Amino acid sequence: MRTATVNRKTKETDISLTLCLDGGDVSIDTGIGFFDHMLNSFATHGGFGLTVKVVGDLQVDEHHSVEDTGIVLGKAFAEALGDKSSIARFGSFYVPMDEALAFASVDISGRPFLVFDADFPQARCGGYDCAMTVEFMRALAFNAGVTLHLKSLYGDNSHHITEALYKAAAHALRLAVTQNASGKPLSTKGVL
Protein backbone atom coordinates (compact mmCIF):
# COMPACT_ATOMS: atom_id res chain seq x y z
CA MET A 1 0.00 0.00 0.00
CA ARG A 2 1.25 3.45 -0.94
CA THR A 3 0.73 5.23 2.37
CA ALA A 4 2.24 8.13 4.26
CA THR A 5 1.64 9.75 7.64
CA VAL A 6 2.80 13.32 8.13
CA ASN A 7 2.61 15.42 11.28
CA ARG A 8 3.39 19.12 11.36
CA LYS A 9 3.22 21.43 14.34
CA THR A 10 3.84 25.18 14.22
CA LYS A 11 2.78 28.10 16.40
CA GLU A 12 -0.29 28.42 14.15
CA THR A 13 -1.37 24.84 13.44
CA ASP A 14 -1.04 21.26 14.65
CA ILE A 15 -1.82 18.80 11.85
CA SER A 16 -1.84 15.00 11.70
CA LEU A 17 -2.60 13.44 8.32
CA THR A 18 -2.51 9.94 6.85
CA LEU A 19 -2.93 9.37 3.11
CA CYS A 20 -3.32 6.07 1.27
CA LEU A 21 -3.27 6.40 -2.52
CA ASP A 22 -5.03 3.04 -2.87
CA GLY A 23 -8.10 3.80 -0.76
CA GLY A 24 -9.24 3.41 2.81
CA ASP A 25 -11.13 5.21 5.52
CA VAL A 26 -11.89 8.91 5.30
CA SER A 27 -12.08 11.04 8.45
CA ILE A 28 -11.70 14.81 8.26
CA ASP A 29 -11.72 17.34 11.12
CA THR A 30 -10.22 20.75 10.40
CA GLY A 31 -12.60 22.90 12.43
CA ILE A 32 -13.86 24.48 9.17
CA GLY A 33 -17.06 22.79 8.03
CA PHE A 34 -16.88 23.68 4.34
CA PHE A 35 -13.19 22.74 4.15
CA ASP A 36 -14.02 19.37 5.75
CA HIS A 37 -16.61 18.93 2.99
CA MET A 38 -14.02 19.77 0.29
CA LEU A 39 -11.40 17.37 1.69
CA ASN A 40 -14.02 14.65 2.04
CA SER A 41 -14.99 15.19 -1.61
CA PHE A 42 -11.30 15.22 -2.60
CA ALA A 43 -10.67 11.88 -0.87
CA THR A 44 -13.87 10.26 -2.12
CA HIS A 45 -13.43 11.31 -5.74
CA GLY A 46 -9.71 10.55 -5.73
CA GLY A 47 -10.31 7.10 -4.26
CA PHE A 48 -7.86 7.99 -1.48
CA GLY A 49 -7.83 6.94 2.14
CA LEU A 50 -7.45 10.16 4.09
CA THR A 51 -7.53 11.02 7.76
CA VAL A 52 -6.93 14.62 8.75
CA LYS A 53 -6.96 16.29 12.16
CA VAL A 54 -6.22 20.00 12.29
CA VAL A 55 -6.06 22.27 15.32
CA GLY A 56 -5.48 25.78 14.04
CA ASP A 57 -5.67 29.41 15.08
CA LEU A 58 -9.21 29.86 13.79
CA GLN A 59 -9.62 32.84 16.11
CA VAL A 60 -7.39 34.63 13.57
CA ASP A 61 -9.01 33.19 10.44
CA GLU A 62 -8.86 30.00 8.39
CA HIS A 63 -5.81 30.89 6.28
CA HIS A 64 -3.17 29.03 8.30
CA SER A 65 -5.30 25.92 8.74
CA VAL A 66 -6.17 25.64 5.04
CA GLU A 67 -2.71 26.43 3.66
CA ASP A 68 -0.88 24.25 6.18
CA THR A 69 -3.22 21.34 5.42
CA GLY A 70 -2.23 21.73 1.76
CA ILE A 71 1.45 21.63 2.78
CA VAL A 72 0.98 18.46 4.82
CA LEU A 73 -1.17 16.74 2.18
CA GLY A 74 1.41 17.60 -0.49
CA LYS A 75 4.23 16.13 1.62
CA ALA A 76 2.14 12.99 2.15
CA PHE A 77 1.61 12.62 -1.62
CA ALA A 78 5.35 12.98 -2.23
CA GLU A 79 6.18 10.40 0.43
CA ALA A 80 3.49 7.91 -0.65
CA LEU A 81 4.63 8.11 -4.29
CA GLY A 82 8.25 7.32 -3.42
CA ASP A 83 10.39 7.26 -6.58
CA LYS A 84 7.24 7.64 -8.74
CA SER A 85 8.04 4.54 -10.78
CA SER A 86 5.13 2.66 -12.35
CA ILE A 87 2.63 5.54 -12.28
CA ALA A 88 0.65 6.96 -15.18
CA ARG A 89 2.13 10.38 -14.26
CA PHE A 90 -0.46 12.49 -16.13
CA GLY A 91 -4.14 12.99 -15.45
CA SER A 92 -6.81 15.42 -16.65
CA PHE A 93 -10.47 15.66 -15.75
CA TYR A 94 -13.56 17.85 -16.17
CA VAL A 95 -16.15 18.05 -13.41
CA PRO A 96 -19.57 19.64 -13.95
CA MET A 97 -21.49 20.71 -10.88
CA ASP A 98 -24.87 22.14 -11.76
CA GLU A 99 -24.12 25.43 -13.59
CA ALA A 100 -20.36 25.26 -12.90
CA LEU A 101 -17.67 23.44 -14.89
CA ALA A 102 -14.10 22.92 -13.69
CA PHE A 103 -11.03 21.36 -15.29
CA ALA A 104 -7.83 19.99 -13.74
CA SER A 105 -4.68 18.65 -15.33
CA VAL A 106 -1.72 17.24 -13.40
CA ASP A 107 1.80 16.04 -14.16
CA ILE A 108 3.57 14.24 -11.32
CA SER A 109 6.89 15.46 -12.63
CA GLY A 110 8.88 16.53 -9.61
CA ARG A 111 8.61 20.07 -10.98
CA PRO A 112 6.12 21.98 -8.81
CA PHE A 113 3.97 24.55 -10.53
CA LEU A 114 0.42 25.86 -10.24
CA VAL A 115 -1.74 27.59 -12.81
CA PHE A 116 -5.03 28.64 -11.21
CA ASP A 117 -7.80 30.42 -13.08
CA ALA A 118 -11.04 30.79 -11.14
CA ASP A 119 -13.30 33.59 -9.99
CA PHE A 120 -15.72 33.27 -7.10
CA PRO A 121 -18.93 35.34 -7.29
CA GLN A 122 -19.50 34.96 -3.54
CA ALA A 123 -16.49 35.53 -1.28
CA ARG A 124 -17.38 32.89 1.31
CA CYS A 125 -18.84 29.43 1.61
CA GLY A 126 -19.81 29.18 5.27
CA GLY A 127 -16.66 29.66 7.33
CA TYR A 128 -14.40 29.19 4.30
CA ASP A 129 -12.94 32.11 2.35
CA CYS A 130 -13.01 31.06 -1.32
CA ALA A 131 -9.67 32.85 -1.81
CA MET A 132 -8.16 30.00 0.24
CA THR A 133 -8.75 27.58 -2.64
CA VAL A 134 -5.73 28.83 -4.57
CA GLU A 135 -3.63 28.85 -1.37
CA PHE A 136 -4.52 25.22 -0.65
CA MET A 137 -3.87 24.08 -4.22
CA ARG A 138 -0.53 25.94 -4.38
CA ALA A 139 0.63 24.39 -1.11
CA LEU A 140 -0.49 20.94 -2.30
CA ALA A 141 1.22 21.21 -5.70
CA PHE A 142 4.51 22.65 -4.44
CA ASN A 143 4.88 20.20 -1.58
CA ALA A 144 3.85 17.18 -3.67
CA GLY A 145 6.21 18.20 -6.48
CA VAL A 146 3.49 18.24 -9.12
CA THR A 147 2.47 20.56 -11.91
CA LEU A 148 -1.21 21.37 -11.43
CA HIS A 149 -3.45 23.38 -13.73
CA LEU A 150 -6.93 24.28 -12.48
CA LYS A 151 -9.57 26.26 -14.32
CA SER A 152 -13.15 27.18 -13.64
CA LEU A 153 -14.67 27.51 -17.10
CA TYR A 154 -17.86 29.09 -15.75
CA GLY A 155 -20.27 29.12 -12.85
CA ASP A 156 -22.47 31.41 -10.77
CA ASN A 157 -22.28 29.75 -7.35
CA SER A 158 -19.02 29.77 -5.38
CA HIS A 159 -19.91 26.53 -3.59
CA HIS A 160 -20.34 24.73 -6.91
CA ILE A 161 -17.21 26.29 -8.42
CA THR A 162 -15.03 25.43 -5.42
CA GLU A 163 -16.33 21.89 -5.09
CA ALA A 164 -15.91 21.25 -8.82
CA LEU A 165 -12.26 22.40 -8.58
CA TYR A 166 -11.50 20.10 -5.63
CA LYS A 167 -13.20 17.15 -7.34
CA ALA A 168 -11.47 17.80 -10.67
CA ALA A 169 -8.08 17.92 -8.93
CA ALA A 170 -8.87 14.67 -7.12
CA HIS A 171 -9.89 12.84 -10.29
CA ALA A 172 -6.83 14.11 -12.18
CA LEU A 173 -4.53 12.98 -9.35
CA ARG A 174 -6.29 9.60 -9.17
CA LEU A 175 -5.54 9.05 -12.85
CA ALA A 176 -1.93 10.24 -12.50
CA VAL A 177 -1.11 7.96 -9.52
CA THR A 178 -2.63 4.88 -11.20
CA GLN A 179 -0.02 2.16 -11.36
CA ASN A 180 1.09 0.73 -14.68
CA ALA A 181 2.89 -2.54 -15.39
CA SER A 182 6.16 -1.11 -16.68
CA GLY A 183 7.94 -0.80 -13.34
CA LYS A 184 9.71 2.26 -14.73
CA PRO A 185 9.17 5.99 -14.42
CA LEU A 186 7.29 7.48 -17.38
CA SER A 187 10.11 9.79 -18.44
CA THR A 188 12.70 9.97 -21.22
CA LYS A 189 15.17 10.93 -18.46
CA GLY A 190 14.54 7.60 -16.72
CA VAL A 191 13.68 9.37 -13.46
CA LEU A 192 10.97 11.68 -12.16
- 91-109 tens-digit pLDDT: 999 999 999 999 999 999 9
Asked if residue 78 lies in contact with residue 141, where contact means CB atoms within 8 angstroms, the answer is no
In a domain, 155, yes or no: yes
Which residues form the domain of 44? Answer: 3-177
Of the two residues 187 and 83, the one the predictor is more confident about is: 83
Of the two residues 48 and 180, the one the predictor is more confident about is: 48
* pLDDT-based confidence at residue 161 (cuts at 50, 70, 90): very high
Question: What is the predicted pLDDT for the residue at 186?
Answer: 75
* CATH code, 158: 3.30.230.40
SS3 category, 184: coil
Question: What is the predicted pLDDT for the residue at 87?
Answer: 96
d(CA 137, CA 108): 14
Least confidently predicted of 93-97, 129-133, 186-190 = 186-190
Phi, psi angle pair for 145, to nearest 5°: 75, 40
Question: What is the predicted pLDDT for the residue at 190?
Answer: 73
Whether the pLDDT of residue 164 is over 80: the answer is yes
In a domain, 185, yes or no: no
Domain count, the chain: 1
pTM for the model stands at 0.96
Quick one: the chain helix, strand, coil %, rounded to 5? 35, 30, 35
Q: Which residues does residue 49 pair with via DSSP β-bridges, in sequence order? A: 20
Question: What is the predicted pLDDT for the residue at 111?
Answer: 97
Question: What is the predicted pLDDT for the residue at 68?
Answer: 98
Asked if residue 99 lies in contact with residue 159, where contact means CB atoms within 8 angstroms, the answer is no
Average pLDDT over residues 6-16: 98
In a domain, 188, yes or no: no
Asked if residue 185 lies in contact with residue 81, where contact means CB atoms within 8 angstroms, the answer is no
In a domain, 149, yes or no: yes
In a domain, 183, yes or no: no
d(CA 110, CA 97): 31
Question: What is the predicted pLDDT for the residue at 74?
Answer: 98
In a domain, 132, yes or no: yes
In a domain, 187, yes or no: no
Of the two residues 177 and 190, the one the predictor is more confident about is: 177
Whether the pLDDT of residue 168 is over 80: the answer is yes
In a domain, 127, yes or no: yes
Q: Which helix (H) or strand (E) holds 42?
A: helix 33-46
Question: What is the predicted pLDDT for the residue at 24?
Answer: 98
Question: What is the predicted pLDDT for the residue at 188?
Answer: 72
